[in-house]
Amino acid sequence: MGGGQTGQDLIRRDVDEAIRQAYTYQSFLSQLRRMGYRVKTGPRVKHTAILPPGGKGYIRLDSLKDGYTEADVRARLTAI
């Protein structure tokens, strides 16, 4: 087995970094945008999704495993 990182591993790392630099959910999304991600969110979007730089499709935050749903990200931001 190789020790290479998957695309989702890299996205989780970037999301973790954005959480470390953010103080609200909106600043978290802004931080992701500064990192080159496109973000789909808002009242008409059921699940926040991000498109990594050079990515071919949006990935829902909640598909990144435990700790990455919108509620989890919000909780991690308030725990800082």
Which residue blocks in the chain are alpha helix, DSSP H? 7-21, 25-34, 70-78
| Predicted pLDDT at 3 | 56
Alpha-carbon distance of 3 to 31, in angstroms, equals 28
Is the overall model pTM greater than 0.85, yes or no? yes
Percent of the chain with pLDDT over 90: 76
Alpha-carbon distance of 32 to 49, in angstroms, equals 11
Tens digit of each residue's pLDDT (9 = 90 or more) over 41-72: 988 989 999 999 999 999 999 999 889 999 99
- Dihedral sign computed on CA atoms, order 28, 48, 69, 32: negative
